[in-house]
Amino acid sequence: MSAQAWIERLIPCQSDHYYSSVLDALHILVLLLVAFIAATLAAVAGFGGAAVLLPVLVWSFGVREAIPILTVAQLVGNSSRVWFNRAELNGRVVAWFALGGVPTALIGGLLFAKAPLATLTRVLGIFLILIVIWRHLRPQAQWRPPLPAFAAIGAGASFLSALLGSVGPLMAPFFLAYGLVKGAYIGTEALATVVMHVTKLIAYRGAAILTWHALVVGLLLGPLMIAGSFLGKRIVDRLPEKIFVGIIEATLLAAGLIFLFK
């Protein structure tokens, strides 16, 4: 039975306009609640918020407008995570990431309207699952990327993010392998993502994809993203490092399976 049918049974003899208003209110409440949950998850794991929020945005606004709205909301959320973890940022990692990421985010943003994404999404899913398996098969011989490697990491992640909306799970293994954990990982990854999202929005605007409506909706979700980031920071500060890494790996596996069977 549909939501409207349930409402009709509970509150009979009302006009269609009334039912429509109630459903619209429920729709907005669901969107706000999911935005808060997504921001909290992202503040704890460093990623995953987009995977939670994007389906609701697509349901509400359609694919074409959902990606720009998500980008604006994530820009606010990531900026707040940068602030809450500002004492632990690694600026050199962000600088190298931006060096490769800014140009490819522009290119990816301009290609967003026409790119076929189904196969690429499944490849990403396989990659994420293999990353977690590899981390456990070689626990004593972890690869630590050199600092300049983040230019290439930024280039690939920014290009894919412009096409897919967000690829936080793809970025996470490299930041973790470099030795960033907890606040240092959350804040540094968030600052790199801020650079990436600003560049994407410039490209979306240039391609006439970022509308004023999308910008306003994304900004209206901002306070929920900040509140979720605040709560997530409090959770991270109380997590032992081993549990934190375990949460990251579990989220990577979940994201990989979602990408693989999407």
Tokens of 231: 């709560």
Residues 252 and 128 sit within 8 Å (Cβ to Cβ): yes
Q: What contacts 251, CB < 8 A, 6 or more positions away? A: 41, 45, 47, 48, 169
In whole angstroms, give the CA distance from residue 31 to residue 53.
8
For 226-235, how does the pLDDT look when each residue is reduced to its tens digit (9 = 90+)?
A: 888 888 888 8
For 171-192, how does the pLDDT look when each residue is reduced to its tens digit (9 = 90+)?
A: 888 888 888 888 888 889 889 9
| Main-chain phi, psi angles of 192, to 5 degrees | -60, -40
Choice among 51-65, 121-135, 247-261 with the minimum mean pLDDT: 121-135
For 191-224, how does the pLDDT look when each residue is reduced to its tens digit (9 = 90+)?
A: 998 988 888 888 877 766 778 888 888 888 888 8
Q: Is the model's pLDDT at 134 over the cut of 80?
A: no
For 111-128, how does the pLDDT look when each residue is reduced to its tens digit (9 = 90+)?
A: 765 655 566 667 666 766
Domain ranges of the chain: 3-261
Choice among 16-30, 52-66, 242-256 with the minimum mean pLDDT: 16-30
Residues 259 and 128 sit within 8 Å (Cβ to Cβ): yes
Q: Average pLDDT of the chain?
A: 76
